[in-house]
Structure 1
């Protein structure tokens, strides 16, 4: 099975072409996801656990298969690298509760580490064990990736982190005259 390149929705906002492929359901696998990522021109690596990961500057998105046969689940999980303090957790929860009410994916949640730092995770999943249409799989995966990127942008706006991000772009000593 292969993905027709014209079937990959673009990130530029033009109408999305419809994929062509098998008429019946397919059971997606890692090779199919690699094809999709290649055609989306996204770089990826395979981690030590065998999962695909696409790295961005502020986060990493994993494409994982879990479970056995008819119960197999495909999950797109994004780990956001921005570190938040435990004192910010209530503000974070308020923001991601708002996101989760307004959107279908990714569903976002916090993870508090032993050292008291808090990070965010976004996740969307699909039951694939009995097969899914290729069109549904491709459009869902692309939408989930797009939504993971949008969530990061949205969170920056909600929490007023623009100055923090712009500050990282400045080199030490730039403000000295």
Structure 2
């Protein structure tokens, strides 16, 4: 059976209330529930949405917030992360993290070298430095994935974990290269 035939079959099964009329399992094997407006079992790729992101955070007990623009964010190990749905239909997932400290502009060249070395050696995350209006340098990581054809709950969880964990590895490297002077005894 081809993939599209399988999807049609799955939709028919869901429309009938699931196998044997029982409720279908919810996101990531959690309590019995169906994703909002989806009506499909969790192993069928469905469109990305902010609601699915927040459901994943709730499922895993993560604290998150939704800002005034409707963007989802949270703190992981003291670092700010945002989870964006970009694209015409919100089909591109981007996990973007920012290191919790900043650099003086005089260190821009060496910070760019650290980012470029990382980017040359690894696929994820993309790292870069930005100079803000106040002249301070901020370091950011991004992992972006085009999910035009949908994403299963398991795949979504894997992508979120990858975005968070790979950025954390890079930020930990920055912590080692540039120790926080306030954390050391005088």
Highest relative contact order (Cα 8 Å, sep 6+), 1 or 2? 1
Could you list the runs of 5+ residues in structure 1 that have no partner in the other structure?
6-20
Q: Which runs of 5+ in 2 are unaligned?
A: 1-25, 31-40
Q: CA RMSD in A?
A: 2.1
- The count of aligned residue pairs is 151
SS of the residue 1:77 aligns to: strand
Deviations 1:88-132 (A, max 9, x none): 011111111121122222211011012211001111111123212
Residue equivalent to 2:117: 98
CA distance in 1, matches of 2:81, 2:74: 5
1:130-149 CA-to-partner distances (Å, cap 9, x unmatched) read: 21233222111111111122
Cα distance per residue 1:35-70 (max 9 Å; x no partner): 22123332111011101111245421001111222x
Give distance in 2, aligned partners of 1:76 and 1:108. 12
- What secondary structure, in the 3-state scheme, does the structure 1 residue paired with 2:169 have? helix
1:150 aligns with 2:183: no
**Structure 1 ranges of 4+ moved more than 6 A:** none
User: Aligned to 2:145, which of 103, 119, 126?
Assistant: 126
Distance verdict in 2 for CA 1:100–1:40, change over 3 Å: farther
Q: Within the alignment, does 1:85 sit opposite 2:110 as a pair?
A: no
Task: Provide the residue aligned with 1:136 in structure 2.
Answer: 155
Shift of the alpha carbon at 1:75? 0.8
The alpha carbon displacement at 1:160 in A equals: 3.5
With the length of structure 2 as denominator, give the TM-score of the two structures: 0.72
Corresponding residue of 2:47: 27
